Amino acid sequence: MASADLPASVEALTLQSTSNVSKFPGCFPTLNPVDIYREHISEELGKIAEIDPAKIYPRLQWTNTLDKGDLALAVPALQIKTKNPKELAQEFADKFPESELIHKPVVSGPQLMFFFKGQPLAKTVLSRVLNEKEAYGTNGNQGLRDPSDPSKGKKKIIIEFSSPNIAKPFHAGHLRSTIIGGFLANLYTVMGWEVIKMNYLGDWGKQYGLLANGFKYFGNEEALNKDPINHLFDVYVQINKVVGKEEEPIKELKEQIKAKKEKNEDVSALEAEVAKLVDASEDEKARRYFKSMEDQDPEALALWRRFRDLSINKYKQTYARLNIDFDVYSGESQVKAESMAKAYQNMKEAGVAEDSDGAIIANFEKHGAKKLGKAVIIRKDGTPLYLTRDIGAILERDEEYHFDKMIYVVASQQDLHLAQLFKITELSGHKDLASRCQHINFGMVQGMSTRKGTVKFLDDILHDVGDKMHEVMKKNEVKYSQVENPEQTADILGITSVMVQDMTGKRINNYEFNLEAMTSFEGDTGPYLQYAHARLCSMTRKSELNVDELPSANFDLLTEKHAVDLCRLLAQWPDVLINTAKTQEPVTVLSYLFRMTHMLSSSYDVLKVIGSEPEVKKARMALYASARQVLNNGMRVLGLNPVQRM
């Protein structure tokens, strides 16, 4: 069964699932070639060890390097007490029967290493890749609520990511959230989940009062329509300069009042002056304007809505370049007052909320969570904080979507905030809801600043790397002349550079934004990955073979170690996806793709296509076409757009 109902970011991938049920849980031999081998080894070892094969199956581990086998079994994990595990391992290896699928197990201490035989593996894997194409590796069964009863439907996940603030720069933190969130959305999609991609915009608060008033002084209709985000940011910067200047005399007067109070002198005249300055200040006007928004003033809301809509339209264009689209543009403004009231009521009833000098706080220390400290829920003036809105939002989303899981892709600086949010949700009587929420965090990007200062918009970042890649491409005049749309290709390569640099380490690691390193063709970079894909496309063109006829190649001719090892690696792709769903790290996929590209580059001299015997040529081309397909599938899951020429 295939489904083409996928988001734009993985539109080139199709999803496959199966009704074939194995007696081993999570085993899908028709979708995952390695599961055929897991079943086989479990059954044979079960007979030898006289234990239930179901005990062996989940203990067969995949390996990091091919020299350690394709699957490994730590014999102590079987908990057979009669003999020493090393002796048992040797005994199992000696008794293991001759097999068409695998070589005799190799003993390494208490471990058994299993190596797949090349020719049967090549037939299975290459046939599948060439026939299943974009669907190879996907597994819709993983996303079923009940794998034994598909009629119960798919599990549903909300992924909240990106979440920029309107009228403020789309900075590196938002970029990381966007890249990681887009990847997770693709991953859960090819694992068969129903994915809702949500952008929770920073679109509410006093800063919008400041922005609206600032627009009266510094706004320009033409500039707003042409480039809303940059223009609103300029307005925001200018009005903040005014606020800064106004604060200076107020600060001076407050210091004078403090000094006079120490001498017990009369300060009423100075206090009146401060009150007058504060009342006339842009900061106070912004507070009043925002209050009018909260009170649903139609004129104030109309201008705010215009700023919001123009900004979202601009964001959509930028996201499209990153292969990302959102199902829902939500935001702080969308959280209903009654949801916040309900959340507050729940907290009160559960004894989580308490009064503190006129404000309402949650004291986590009293609930056995000392590390979470205290958090303000409602300010003294009665206005709710982020936390209150976020609690209201969780309740609303649960009611509207009935999700099985919700992931917040937010920087690690917000670790405390999200831990407090989940704890309040739990303490307020929604333990199950809190358990379905997860924070996926990430580290900082360092060294991102512009020639003009410290602010860097996403469009500027992408423009810079696109220009850099264009320069690199021009150096090879022959290849450059063959690229149909060099500017567009340079843009794709630039975006790939940024995304791959971001995904190279674990999410939590900080990294240095390095334009030179990320746009290089040396080392494990985005351009190197794209080059590997383009080279395989070029090889297909030069071979002049009909790609549709490759599945009928004679795979028995692929006897060289390079060919066998490449097949072994291609067999791992479905497992890589399942493992990535556990790690939730883009680097799990990326490391696999780089292992494959390194193996490919060392194969070209050994497994020549051009000039080979016709049948050998066809078999080798089938191998390379399969590698290109898996590389393409992996790049798509990462959110990259593979190029055919560069």
Alpha-carbon distances of 184 from 160, 180, 413, rounded to whole Å: 10, 6, 20
- Beta strands 71-74; 374-378: pairing state: unpaired
CA 599 to CA 607: how far, in whole Å? Answer: 12
Residues 326, 475: Cα–Cα separation, whole Å: 38
> What CA–CA distance (Å, rounded) separates 380 from 378?
7
The answer to whether the Cα torsion of 343, 349, 353, 358 is positive or negative is positive
171 is catalytic: yes
| Catalytic hit among 154, 171, 562, 618 | 171
Q: What are phi and psi of 271, to 5 degrees?
A: -65, -35
Collapsed DSSP state (helix, strand, coil) of residue 355: strand
Q: Which residues pair with 195 in a beta bridge?
A: 157
Measured CA to CA, the distance from residue 468 to residue 321 in angstroms comes to 17
Both tokens assigned to 416: 């405390």
**For residue 18, what are the β-bridge partners?**
none
Q: Which of 174, 231, 423, 430 is catalytic?
A: 174
Instruction: Name the nearest CA neighbour of 239 among 289, 203, 276, 172.
Output: 289
103 labelled catalytic: no
Per-residue 3-state assignment (H helix, E strand, C coil) for 47-113:
HHHCCCHHHHHHHEEECCCHHHCCEEEEHHHHCCCCCCHHHHHHHHHHHCCCCCCECCCEEECCEEE
Quick one: three-class SS letters along 544-605? CCCHHHHHHCCHHHCCCHHHHHHHHHHHCHHHHHHHHHHHCCHHHHHHHHHHHHHHHHHHCC
- Contact status, residue 360 vs residue 377, Cβ threshold 8 Å: yes
Neighbouring CB atoms inside 10 A of 564's CB total 19
Q: What is the spatial distance between Cα 199 and Cα 313, in angstroms, rounded to a whole number?
A: 13
Cα–chain center distance at 544: 38
Q: What are phi and psi of 594, to 5 degrees?
A: -70, -35
Cα separation, 85 vs 69, whole angstroms: 19
Partners of residue 154 on adjacent β-strands: 144
Of the residues 154, 155, 156, 168, which is catalytic? 168
CB 207 within 8 A of CB 167: yes
Query: What distance in Å separates the CA atoms of residue 410 and residue 412, rounded to the nearest whole number?
Result: 7
**Bridge partners of 73?**
60, 112
**463 belongs to the catalytic site:** no
Non-local (6+) Cβ contacts of 622 within 8 A are 126, 130, 550, 551, 553, 555
- The DSSP secondary structure of 447-495, one letter per residue, reads S---SSSS---HHHHHHHHHHHHHHHHHTSHHHHHH-S-HHHHHHHHHH
Active site residues: 168, 171, 174
